[in-house]
């Protein structure tokens, strides 16, 4: 039966990075949590803006593909 032993409480002779990692774990954990929540917020904002843009395009009777096709042909004509 395996017991749950935290990584830093266990002696690992073949892990040369153990001392550095265990000294940085509190800061690393806080940084990781902030990064993950920030990334989730950023993705939510970007996807929300994209959804709002699609709602706008649908409300004027277009789709995103039609918008891109029209934009491409307008640039080709100019």
pLDDT tens for the chain, 78 residues: list them: 556 666 677 777 777 777 777 787 777 778 888 899 999 999 999 999 999 998 988 898 888 888 888 765 555 554
Q: Is residue 31 part of a domain?
A: yes
Q: Is residue 66 part of a domain?
A: yes
Domain enclosing residue 42, as ranges? 7-77
Measured CA distances, 63 to 53, 66, 73 (Å): 10, 5, 15
Q: Is residue 1 part of a domain?
A: no
Query: What is the pLDDT, as a whole number, of residue 1?
Result: 58
Query: What is the pLDDT, as a whole number, of residue 71?
Result: 65
Query: What span, in angstroms and rounded, lies between the C-alpha atoms of 36 and 34?
Result: 6
Q: Is residue 55 part of a domain?
A: yes
Query: What is the pLDDT, as a whole number, of residue 44?
Result: 98
Q: Is residue 46 part of a domain?
A: yes
Query: What is the pLDDT, as a whole number, of residue 52?
Result: 95
Q: Is residue 2 part of a domain?
A: no
Q: Is residue 47 part of a domain?
A: yes
| Total number of domains in the chain | 1
């Amino acid at each position: 039966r395996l017991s749950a032993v935290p990584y830093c409480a266990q002696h690992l002779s073949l892990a040369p990075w153990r001392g550095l990692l265990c000294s940085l774990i509190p800061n690393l954990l806080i940084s990781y949590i902030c990064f993950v929540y920030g990334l989730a917020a950023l993705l939510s904002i970007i996807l929300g803006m994209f959804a709002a843009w699609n709602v706008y395009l649908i409300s004027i009777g277009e789709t995103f593909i039609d918008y891109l096709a029209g934009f491409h042909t307008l640039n080709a004509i100019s």
